[in-house]
Amino acid sequence: MKLILLGPPGSGKGTQAERLVARHGLVQLSTGDMLRAAVAAGTPVGLRAKDIMARGELVPDEVVIAIIADRIAQKDCAKGFILDGFPRTVPQAAALDRLLGDKGMKLDAVIELRVNEGILLQRVETRIAQMRARGEPVRADDNAESLAKRLDAYRSQTAPLVDYYAEKGSLMTVDGMMSIDEVSAAIARILSAAARTSATPARKGKKSSSASRPSAKKAAKGGKAAKKSRKAAKKPAKPAGKKPAAKGTKKAAKKGGAKAKSKAKSAAKSKSKTVRQKATRKGAKRARR
Ligand code: AMP
């Protein structure tokens, strides 16, 4: 199983990744942790990244891409991994596509943890208090000023990945405002739906990605957590990019003839655009809340 957890700082990616490691024996690949280790060890990468990280800015793409390329090539990643904090830019996502393609691997799911920004500072403050209570050193970027920068970086450089993966049909959204257990349950449903899909041989003439839709939908529907998730995030745990064809589209295409087919095509196009525009407006509304 190869997954990406996508979400702003404080959305719970690290916590959920740790749970997935414990439950599924996957390897957690956190570029933040790797960079912090490099800073602590004083390696050339660490020296380059130290001040950038403390300011809450993103480390250059080529640095993190090289780190991930090395790490994915290691034996323990063959079984599966969770990318936590990578990719964070579209060029990083494109590099990951190439890296996985070269190894004949593919992503099973990209899970976006959607949260209201208002809660993030509070969550980071809680994390600082917990680290202090455990006697652990507090991260250099866990302060209000750096958090504001990290959120800016997320909005401008990482949020476009939501559309990037939605277009590919691999994005699933979970309401990250739910309790930790509820988020874990929603993720577990997504993963078991994805596992069922990859175990089902694709029918002739049918793309396996479209075959995943019914089970993913079912996964999203099950349980109280998903109900809450739907309420807040409206379309949780549902591939966002590949919309069903507009009503009447298939009928028109069936009638045959180039004219009917092109009519059907443009109907589907305009419908999918509207749905996407609606989703974008809803997303912006949620972000403002
Ligand atoms: P994180 O622990 O994921 O919050 O990451 C902490 C910091 O490490 C970020 O604010 C960035 O400065 C840097 N970082 C981690 N992952 C990446 C990445 N994929 N691309 C660029 N910078 C990163």
Give the per-residue pLDDT at 200: 63
pLDDT digits (tens, 9 = 90+) for 173-190: 999 999 999 999 999 999
Of 11, 59, 72, best ligand 1 pocket probe by most atoms within 8 Å of the beta carbon: 59
Give residues with Cβ within 8 angstroms of 26, minimum separation 6. 1, 3, 20, 79, 80, 81, 82
Distance from the alpha carbon of residue 231 to the mean position of ligand 1, in angstroms: 31
pLDDT digits (tens, 9 = 90+) for 14-63: 999 999 999 988 999 999 999 999 999 999 999 999 999 999 999 999 99
Kindly report the number of other CB atoms within 10 A of residue 107's CB atom.
17
pTM for the predicted model, two decimal places: 0.72
Pairing outcome for strands 2-6 and 27-30: unpaired
- Lowest-confidence range among 6-20, 140-154, 234-248? 234-248
Nearest CA to ligand 1 atom 6: 32
Mean pLDDT throughout 110-135? 89
Tokens of 237: 């745990």
Distance from the alpha carbon of residue 193 to the mean position of ligand 1, in angstroms: 30
- Residue 119 predicted with pLDDT over 90: no
How far is the C-alpha of 134 from the C-alpha of 145, rounded, in Å?
A: 24
Tokens of 211: 């075959």
Average pLDDT, the chain: 77
10 Å CB burial of residue 172 (0-12, 13-18, 19+) is buried
